[in-house]
Chains A and B, each alone.
Chain A
């Protein structure tokens, strides 16, 4: 083979990979381009850890061993029996992290599910029917923005006593307006589309139009809002737990753990740092997955991968 032909061969193999080149490496690279592999893997690991907490956790989450108080994490080379260290009452941070992720993810998922369904429904109704219905729902959204959710949670917790259901309810109350607003805006633009008018011409009922044309159209927006709001929910839950109206104290939650560790941040950084890292990874993964989902759900973008 002469030198002159070599670059051409190289260029060809770069644009159309030959059989020899299309090995496992190419498949893996393609997968990385197509799917958010890192985010999905991370989230799966965290979710798996949360679900399998009772089996994976080396120590109980709610009972401490005072002799292990502020034990340094073994992961940074300390001579310790605690992988991620222990907190101020000697509870294993790793075990609490697993249980905490369970609680936090449950709260986040529950909140997003409730707020997402309620917000989507109200946004859909608001955008589709318009008029006084729209006016009423949107004023409700405005009113929600004027209510400090934390204060409301405090008042309700004092009146009713803190509970899991109350936490979900209050968080959902704070989250649904974001969904309602976005879905309403999307519905307003979709209902004017020619294909919606043509569905009407074909005799489609309002239910059918909403279900077949509007809802699939707003679905990607809902998914993106949902993944972005998860972070807010986890943080809000942390704030409420810190104030004592979130997850009741002995039960670990990621936010509660950060709050617990804040007093000892200079002596025992690991108490707050690891749940903080966990929150950051969960939120970041969800944002990437949300972006990917939005592109996937749009058939016009599906082929541009």
Chain B
């Protein structure tokens, strides 16, 4: 497997590593620092490091999941990818082209190939527009179809997501949450995109209809070879939907690789704790809940060394190299990457911890 940088300059090649698949999205050393002014402006400005040196690949037709607790920077990555915000540093490469340096034509192509579905189906549809106008808007912007063609396409795509064509004349408030999310998906599909960014697509929905929406997304992916870049805090959703995943903590990827490998054998203590916090699939299952000491550290001016240092249950040697500088992701097993420090790995914990 090709190394993409020096050890200091570690990039990660996860999803696209299957030899025949060129990644559709490559994220390289992505950073988003928000300047924060504290006090009366005499102190040097601090930075909220929402995303701090993140790299990953997304393969076409596959789902890449980003998980982590709230505030870890996962949604910021989506916003950067959708160009709703500008990165502080780093690149996002779409089909071999850096999106920050695209030509006007490239930008149009990007907007046509990339769509998004957001978390809250009540906020993501304009309440003053009819479904036909909401779903048809991307087509209208692309400007390649006549009015009649747009209507026909909208009807077609509504049927594909399990709605009726006549519902195009209704307003969003006349639908339930699950139906609204279907409208959002229809809108995302209408241009025939290659990538859909999913920001917690089911977390606002009733538990009873989550599976319907997830199944719809999976079916659409199979039919159309869509790539999904999905953000979630729900591990069950990630496990069901994703092929590859990255676990983030404080803006930094802690562990990444194939979903199955990570769920079978989490290498990072943080991943393990996250999994233990999720509800088990059966109430009778016995499990050990692993609690990490301390609170989530503020992402404003995080430690220069390993961000996980303040949360690990294992002793930290302050003179260790990774207490002072940011440790890289290391490929411990094929396609399974983890931040390796003396205090971060599940394997370095002796069996006595649970006592």
Contact = CB atoms under 8 A, between A and B. Distances in A.
Contacts of B111: 201-203
A202 B124 contact: no
B128 interface: yes
Nearest to B173: A300
Contacts of B260: none
Contacts of B134: 195
A200 B173 contact: no
A208 B184 CA distance: 19
B50 interface: no
Interface residues of B, number: 31
A300 B180 CA distance: 15
A199 B127 contact: no
Contact of A216 (B112, B116, B128, B141): B128
A216 B128 CA distance: 8
Contact of B141 (A204, A213, A298, A300): A204
Nearest to B122: A194
Contacts of B120: 194
Nearest to B170: A299
Contacts of B82: 197, 200-201
B58 to A, nearest CB: 17
A202 B128 contact: no
B121 to A, nearest CB: 9
Q: Binding site of A, secondary structure by majority: helix, strand, loop or mixed?
A: helix
Contacts of A197: 82, 84, 118
Contacts of B112: 203
Contacts, number: 62
Nearest to A301: B173
Contacts of B114: 201
Contacts of B137: 199, 202, 204, 212
A217 interface: yes
B241 interface: no
Interface in B114-168: 114-116, 118-120, 123-129, 134, 137-138, 141-142
Interface string A167-208: 000000000000000000000000001110111111110001
A67 B111 CA distance: 80
Contacts of B187: 198, 202
Nearest to B114: A201
B124 A194 contact: yes
Given A201-B114, A204-B141, A195 B125 contact: yes
Interface range for A: 10 to 19
Contacts of A208: 141
Contact of A299 (B84, B127, B141, B184): B127
B33 interface: no
A197 B120 CA distance: 12
Contact of B126 (A200, A201, A213): A213
A265 B239 CA distance: 83
Contacts of B118: 194, 197-198
A198 B171 contact: no
Interface string A276-305: 000000000000000000000011100000
B143 to A, nearest CB: 10
A236 B274 CA distance: 65
A195 B134 CA distance: 9
Contacts of A193: 123, 126
A203 B128 CA distance: 20
Contacts of B138: 202-203
Nearest to A302: B171
Interface string A137-161: 0000000000000000000000000
A201 B116 contact: yes
A37 B84 CA distance: 47
Given A194-B118, A299-B171, A200 B84 contact: yes
A299 B173 CA distance: 8
Nearest to A216: B128
Contacts of B124: 194-195, 198
B140 to A, nearest CB: 9
B265 interface: no
Interface of B: 82-84, 107-108, 111-112, 114-116, 118-120, 123-129, 134, 137-138, 141-142, 171, 173, 184, 187, 191, 197
> 3 nearest interchain CB pairs?
A203-B111, A194-B124, A202-B138
12 contacts: A193-B123, A194-B123, A198-B116, A198-B118, A198-B124, A198-B187, A199-B137, A201-B116, A202-B111, A208-B141, A299-B127, A300-B173
